Each structure stands twice: as C-alpha cells, then as structure tokens.
Structure 1
C-alpha cells in the first residue's frame, strides 16, 4: 500500500506552521529571558543606593537612549554630567555602569580606596578570546595573577633602566620614520604633503615590535603584514549589543566566528616571531657564536615571559598566552602614542609660535649636527611642558580602563557601588575643570613652566589630569609613552618645518572615537625639510 504524497499547498502550509511555531518559541524564549533579567536585576540591587542617573526601560535600561541619542557616547556623558553630577549610573542592558567625571570622586576611587576598586569586571565577551580569559596586565582581575604579570612587565620592560636599553630600537625607528616622511613628501604632487597619523603609527609600531621580540631584521613588508593583523584584532574586540544583552548572543554567531578567525590569524602571525626568538636565545646560551647584532637585540620583553612563573599557576605561559601578552604591549602602546602625535602636530601647525619655541630649544640643545635623542628631550623644559599640555587637552582615550569593586559593600561619594558594576572614569571633564585649571579650554604649554601649574600625571598627590589612569591600576607604560611622544615630536620638528596644508581647512580639533580618540579629519600637513648636517 503506497502513501499519498502531500500537495505543494499542503507542504507550504506545513512549512509556514513550522515557521510560526519557531517564531512563537523564539518570542517566548526572549520574553522569558527578559523577565528573568528584570527579576535578577531587581534582586541584585534591592536595598542599594546607587548614584543618580536617567530612568531606563525594563531589560534594556538606558541602552536604547544612548544608542539613539544622536550623539557620540563621550558627548552624551558630558550632558548627563551637567544634570546628575560627578558620579552617575547608567544601566546598559545587563551591565551597570557607574561613571565618575569629577576629580574628588576619582581620587577617592583610585587612590584613597584604591584597594577596593582595583579589579576588573568579570564579563564574558569576545574580548576574552583575545585576552586568553583575562591573562593580561590590563584585563586580569585583582589578585596574585595580576601582580605577577604587572611586576614582570615593569621590571622586564618598562623600568627606567630597561627603557634605556632599548635606545637603539628607538633610533632605528626614528631614522626610518623621518626617511618615510621625506619620501612621502617628495612623492606627493606638491612635494610637501605628509599624512601624520599613518606615519606616526608605523613608527611606534616598529619600536614596540623591536622591544617585544628583539628581532631587528624584519623588513617593511613583513612589518606591514603584522600591523594589518593587529588592526583587525582591534576591530574584532569592539563592543557589541550582545555584550549588554547576552541572551542575544546566538544571533551574533557570525561575529563570534569572525573573532575566532581573527584570533587564529593573530596566533599564526605572532607565533613564528616567538619561535624565532626562542631559537636565538638557544644560540646565545650555546657554544655557537652570538647572533649578529643587526639581526637580534640582546634583550626583549618576550625573554622575560618565556620562563615566567605566575603566582597560583603551574608552569610557564602557553604559546597562546605568550601571543596574548606580546600583543597586549604592542596594541596598548601603538595607537595611544600615535594618536597623541597627530594631535600634537595639529597644535604645532595651528600655532607657529609653538613650533618656533620647540625648534629654538632643540637647536640650543643639540644643534643640527646629530639627531635629538631621549637624553636630550629630558633636558628640554618647553618640550616637556608641551607633552604635558598635549596629554591634558588630548588624552588618547577619554575613559580610563574599567575598574570594578573587589568585593560587595563598597561605597563612593556616599553611594553604593555593586561588585558587578563597571566603574568608568571620564577624563576630559577632570582635565578641563575650571576649578582645577586656569583657562582650561586653551592649549598653552607655558602653564607648566617654572612657577606655573602642577602636572602630576600619577594622581597620587591629587587628581588634576590622569591620561594614564591612577592608583594601583595606573598604566605601567606612562614613562614609555611620554618618552616616545617627546622624542617623536622633537625629531619631527628638528627634521621639518611644519605648515598647514593649503588644500585643508584650519584644524578644528573635532574628535571621534575609534580605538582611541582621533581627529575627526585626519591631519594632512605640508612639510619643508630643514638643512641638517646628518
């Protein structure tokens, strides 16, 4: 007996019923997840006195208000500060953000109660793929693992003595940097055009690549390929909607798959550099002649990681973790420094008197017989004042890395701060506070010269500007960053006379957020090489 086949109409009706059933199930699941989220949120924060903030909607909180405000988040926060004060709360889906935008509250959180707010949130996001589940200095939760990683980074890479040892890497990168700009200007139609950020970023990347792996023979094509992969990593770790509403994560499976592919590409790109350095170290320890000094540096950050013992863990870091720790240093220092350079050169182009003062100081210190180096820059008060004012007015990021309370029961400014909340410090309103600064809207390096205003960037004595954060989780790269900014600005002014490009409108200093806070319109400048004896 044969079975009758369904007609096309019956098959279509059956498929439609299945689709309707699936849609109904999806809606029911989403509604259930939303109800559970509301119940959990209410239970978590029952009885707590949170800082004030705009009222939100069920489940999504203030998420849609922020997303559809028509403003960049950094500008939206300025508006909220005017209404709610220097500490406020935003509920972004299942995340609660406590945002500090005043110096006194920031000092309380980062210095006075630094031990209470020294951790990082335990969120489960795509970023964990690239941090080996928070096995980095910046992302690790507060505890023995973080202490081991930070201690090693400072002693093995960022101490004053170690930074001096990498002087050769900086000289190599600076010579290449100046040569690239000369070549770019000469090849341009007017013989003078230079894109600042692109060249500055490549120069900083070269320095950090040398410092991280100690490989001195990488050609430019290879460096460009590595840089392209690292840029893709930065794009892959951007915040997504499912970071705030985790029940949407199944709908972002393509993004997750892409992130995993980028991570695999990062490992494939960096692991050969790690293995090359391993082989060089074996040569150094063996009976064979030492490596050619033009091929390998005597020391690198990676050397300190290969046999690193982390408190609370067995064995040295895995290859995957080595990739993560090396990438942290490179990505953490590249865009932040390059961004500062672009803002700095925009200020120099906009105000020729600043350039004249800088060039006069460089000429007085070293003349034109040799390139300026970092020892020279330490003895240039106006250059140092320029760097401080640059970081006050244009911090590379407007938010310090997110903090979190170590345990429940913490308070700030009399308010409760839940242990699972993100504690974010908004920097511009501190460094532009008229109660702390004279003429805060003006860019004036002279404010930091003798008898002028103080510029303690660590915040330990009182917070006025903290472009690198403050307290226990202050960025360990503060000295390296300021050294590189001062050196690059000095070399650029020593080698070229900088002018506004005739095809461009005057700099308007409008900002936008990419990985860092960059100029809304990238800086194209006109340069004229100076007569030098080297």
Structure 2
C-alpha cells in the first residue's frame, strides 16, 4: 500500500514537472518565433477565401490598406502571404527569390498545363532551365527577337490592311480579336514556320476564346487548391471546365505537332523553333524533354504570348479614346519623327519617348497579370520581422503596387507624362524597378518579358501612327475589368478607324 502511494506521488510529481517544462518550452519558442503577418481572420474551414469575391486583386488591395504591405491569409488549410508595395515585393522576389522559386500545386497546372510539364508551372530545376534556355535562345531572347523582326513586320502589315478594309466598309474593328489573330500568326511563324490562321474568322476567334478561357480559369481561386480533401467535389465546377478546355487545346496542339513532324524535310537548313527544340531534347544534366513537355511549352508560348500583350494594347487604346489629348500628342510625336509616308519601324521606337511612356503607364495601371503567378516557400523565413512558414503561398499584388498613392501621384489617372521627367523617368518594366513589375521579377520573371515589351511598343505604335481612332456612334466606353490570370476588359474594345498615312504606307 505504501509502495502504491509512493508511486502515485512520483507519477503526480513527474506529470507536474512535464506540464511546467512543456509550458516553459512552448512559451520560450513562442517568444523566439516572430509573429505571422497581420491579416483577416476569415471564416471557419474556408478561411479568407469568401473575402476575395470576384475581383481578388481589388479585394486584396483594400485589405492591404488595413493590414499592411505584408499580409497573411489563412486560405482553407493553406497559408498565403500577399505583398502589396514595392519594398515588400523586393523582399520576396529579390532577397528571398530562391526560397520562393517554385509554384504551388494547383488545378490549372494539373489540368491545363499537362500536370505542370510546361515552363510556367514546372518546379525550379533542370527541366525548367532547359525549357527556358531553348525558348530564350530561339524565340524570346534579344538576339532571337532581332532574327524574327521581319515576321512581325509582315504580320502587322496584314493586320493594318484588314483594318483599312474595315474602314472602307465603315465597320468597327474588334481590337482583341484582331490582335490575337495577328499575334498567333507571328508566334506560329516562329515556332512552326507558318501562319496558324490563314484568314481572320471563326477559327481564329475560337482560338482567342480558348485563350481567354484558359487565362480566366487559371486565375480563379479554386477551393480545391486550398482544401485538397474536398478537391474531388469540384464545388465551383472549375476543374470540369479545365478538363474540357484541355482536350480542345490538346487536339489543336497535337494536330500542329503532327503536321510539323510530317513536313520536317521541307525545312532542312532553315529550322524553326520546334525543330530546334526537338533537336535539343537532352541537356548536360541528363534531362530529356518528352513530347508532352514540348506540347506544354507550345501551350505556354501561344497562350501567354498572345493574351497578355494584346490586353495591354487594348487597354492602351481604350485609355487614349478616353483621353483624346494623349492620342493627339502621340500623333504629333510620330508625325514629327516618322512622317506620314511610311509605316512605323521598330528602330523608330527609341526616338518616340511619349509612345514608350504610354506603354509604361499602361503596364502600371493595367498590368496583364494583376496578381503575379503564385509562388510557394521552400523553407520557413522572415520578412519585415514576420514569420513566414514553409509551404506558404505567395501572391504579389502588382495591380495594387501600380495604384499605390504612396508610390504614384494621382494613381487612378492615366498620365504618360509621369514617365518623361523626374524620379520616374528611368523606371523600366523589366523587373529591376519594383515600382513597375508588370512581368514579375527574379528567377521566375515572365520568360517573355523582352518579347512582351517589343510587341506592345511596336504594335501599339503602329496602330496609333497608322489610324485615327473613334468610338462607334452612340457607344459609350466601358473601362470595367474582368479578372483572370490576365486582366481583360470586361467589354471588348470595338472602334472605328480611319487611315491617316499615304496609301502606299499600307502596302505589305
């Protein structure tokens, strides 16, 4: 009996010591570990997901005004940190770039991008490096862009001829359809050696609709991505739509791929991008590209290469229709530098600072990817004195940075002049100035940054120089946004154009 009492006393003492030591250790750890960034509490189970609404970039920008530049949200079972100022973006995309160099798993990567076998969603590693290297060397890099200058010139010539025909018929030009048709053919000539659309019509418009659907669905905050245990239920129907769209894209890409392989003998000595990729499927690290990797790369180049640039150009033209004085000043600059007897050439752009300012202002106010493509932390880290756990998703609110009154004077105004003098004159959109990062920054900056800037400046400059622009009679300009991976206009821009150059300037 005495032994039992002794044992009970010892066990009780041990339990008390365990609880005290556990409490002390927990308290010490709590004191030594910085707090999570501030953020909204959210709802039980689903967290902050319902707070994002239909325009997440706007909702997150409003939250940042309350919670600060680095904000933490519990999204289902996942954590997400949002950077909303240039300094916060720099901390994640420059200082901690390597730690945030991967993408989180998501339905878009799985169902649209061949289970992340592409360049956009691939893990940072040998396969991603090989895909990026081949794309830069033969399509997206500086030398490659120079090599296909003539392709852009010819395809843009076809486009302005079609616009002249619409002008003669007094028909409005639907800007995004026209741009997608021209850009898809430019990219097709480089990748496949031929135009993918012979005429503008139902086939090219269907492709445009597919690209917009891809960018829209890939931009959704899908509940299944944040609560994996219920992903199979597909509560929003997003994954069903993605699977259907993937089948359509895969059929198109497979057809392109097979036709290209069947005509390889015709291109001996004059290879296109796909020929070069096929010939360099292996790298020194033992990585080999599969046919699926290559189809996924084609999907990246065609979708991102057309939709992001065309949306910026469309927003730019809409802003000039809203502000005719900007269009007038652009015309005056171009008439002085180029005249009206020939088309604008890419070599003219460096002599057109106001055109370049218009493009920068569009990148600022209407970034093509309002929330930079998500990244995820490989290890726990600290930012601004806050603790960021491992596997935390990162969103950089590029849209909010572009409209931050602490960074930009009168940010809601479209004022290209802000880039002509003063502190903003040397700001560049290529990822080094975090006040203006329309393509992101760091290791995972958009691979097509150079191409995007060239296409926007050259195509927008040509459209402005070649035509006078006006809205159809009785039509009001709608400037509402439609959220997606790329920021579209809710109502596509349709405008009346009238040629302003000598007739010989429109001959291809």
Q: Is the 8 A contact 2:112 2:246 kept in 1?
A: yes
* 1:193-232 alignment runs, 5 A limit: 193-216=172-195, 218-220=197-199, 223-224=204-205, 226-227=207-208, 229-231=210-212
How far residue 241 of structure 1 moved from its aligned partner, in angstroms, is 2.8
Give the distance between the partners of 1:179 and 1:147, measured in 2 at CA: 40
Give the distance between the partners of 1:235 and 1:108, measured in 2 at CA: 28
Q: Is the 8 A contact 2:166 2:172 kept in 1?
A: yes
Aligned equivalent of 1:295: none
For 2:376, which of 385, 404, 408 is the aligned residue? 404
How far residue 510 of structure 1 moved from its aligned partner, in angstroms, is 3.1
Across the aligned residues of Structure 1 and Structure 2, the Cα RMSD in angstroms comes to 2.7
3-state secondary structure, aligned to 2:102? coil
For 1:518, which of 484, 488, 493 is the aligned residue? 488
Aligned equivalent of 1:449: 420
For 1:54, which of 36, 40, 51 is the aligned residue? 40
Give the distance between the partners of 1:235 and 1:113, measured in 2 at CA: 29
Instruction: Structure 2 unaligned segments of length 5 or more: list them.
Output: 1-28
Aligned equivalent of 1:157: 139
1:126-153 alpha-carbon deviations (Å, 9 max, x no partner): 5313323322222122222222222222
Q: Is the 8 A contact 2:181 2:197 kept in 1?
A: no
For 1:181, which of 144, 163, 166 is the aligned residue? 163
1:452-490 alpha-carbon deviations (Å, 9 max, x no partner): 523122343x42111011112111211111111111112
Q: Is the alpha carbon distance of 1:400 and 1:352 closer, same or farther for their aligned partners in structure 2, counting shifts above 3 Å? A: same
Aligned equivalent of 1:250: 232
Give the distance between the partners of 2:492 and 2:266, measured in 1 at CA: 45
How far residue 198 of structure 1 moved from its aligned partner, in angstroms, is 2.4
1:74 aligns with 2:44: no
1:480-511 alpha-carbon deviations (Å, 9 max, x no partner): 11111111112212221112333122x46332
1:364-408 alpha-carbon deviations (Å, 9 max, x no partner): 3332332212122233211111111111121112111112223x2
* 1:295-310 alignment runs, 5 A limit: 298-309=270-281
Q: Is the 8 A contact 2:107 2:239 kept in 1?
A: no
Aligned equivalent of 1:19: none
Q: Is the 8 A contact 1:236 1:262 kept in 2?
A: no
Aligned equivalent of 2:26: none
Q: Is the 8 A contact 1:385 1:445 kept in 2?
A: yes
Q: Is the 8 A contact 2:103 2:376 kept in 1?
A: yes
3-state secondary structure, aligned to 2:248? helix
Aligned equivalent of 1:26: none
Aligned length: 469
1:273 aligns with 2:273: no
Give the distance between the partners of 2:370 and 2:318, measured in 1 at CA: 19
How far residue 94 of structure 1 moved from its aligned partner, in angstroms, is 2.3
TM-score by length of 1: 0.80
Aligned equivalent of 1:132: 114
Q: Is the 8 A contact 1:206 1:223 kept in 2?
A: no
3-state secondary structure, aligned to 1:471? coil
How far residue 268 of structure 1 moved from its aligned partner, in angstroms, is 2.2
Q: Is the alpha carbon distance of 1:181 and 1:108 closer, same or farther for their aligned partners in structure 2, counting shifts above 3 Å? A: same
1:323 aligns with 2:295: yes
How far residue 340 of structure 1 moved from its aligned partner, in angstroms, is 0.7
Range with greater deviation from structure 2 (79-88 or 192-201): 192-201
3-state secondary structure, aligned to 1:482? helix
Aligned equivalent of 1:34: none
Q: Is the 8 A contact 1:410 1:416 kept in 2?
A: yes
Give the distance between the partners of 1:79 and 1:217, measured in 2 at CA: 42
Q: Is the 8 A contact 1:130 1:263 kept in 2?
A: yes
TM-score by length of 2: 0.84
How far residue 224 of structure 1 moved from its aligned partner, in angstroms, is 4.8
Q: Is the 8 A contact 2:184 2:196 kept in 1?
A: no
* 1:102-501 alignment runs, 5 A limit: 102-121=85-104, 123-187=105-169, 191=170, 193-216=172-195, 218-220=197-199, 223-224=204-205, 226-227=207-208, 229-231=210-212, 233-234=214-215, 237=218, 239=220, 240-252=222-234, 256=239, 259-285=242-268, 298-309=270-281, 316-406=288-378, 408-451=379-422, 453=424, 454-460=426-432, 462-501=433-472
How far residue 66 of structure 1 moved from its aligned partner, in angstroms, is 3.4
3-state secondary structure, aligned to 2:375? coil
